[in-house]
Amino acid sequence: MVPCCHALAAGRVRNIDPYTLLSLCYFVGPWRAKYKGVVMPRPNEKDHNIPEECTDVAVNPPRTKRQGRRPKKKRIPSQGEVHHKKKRITKCGRCFGQGHNRKTCSTLI
């Protein structure tokens, strides 16, 4: 367990080493001992035999051209996500009919 700042300050007043207040699970030594047989160390690149055909070939990134438009502001939902917006039905403020608004209303008053 990690001590709080008050415990560390009290330990500093009494000249106590702050590392003695920490739990052993926060140190590298016990972790290495625990996972010694489970996690294998990474081999060096010098130990591998790479054929010359692979080392002689120059590998470059693909040639791409950036699109000339402005990037999208809305994120495209990935598969499984549902982003349905409810479509509002327009309602006329003049005749209170549906499907049109006051500007396009053609009913007589």
Q: What is the mean pLDDT of the chain?
A: 83
- % of the chain surpassing 70 pLDDT: 95
- % of the chain surpassing 90 pLDDT: 6
Across the range 38-50, mean pLDDT stands at 78
Across the range 57-74, mean pLDDT stands at 81
Task: Tell me the two tokens of residue 72.
Answer: 């999208």
The model's pTM: 0.32
Q: Is the pLDDT of residue 5 over 70?
A: yes
Q: Which residues contact 11 (CB under 8 A, 6 or more apart)?
A: 3, 17, 18, 21
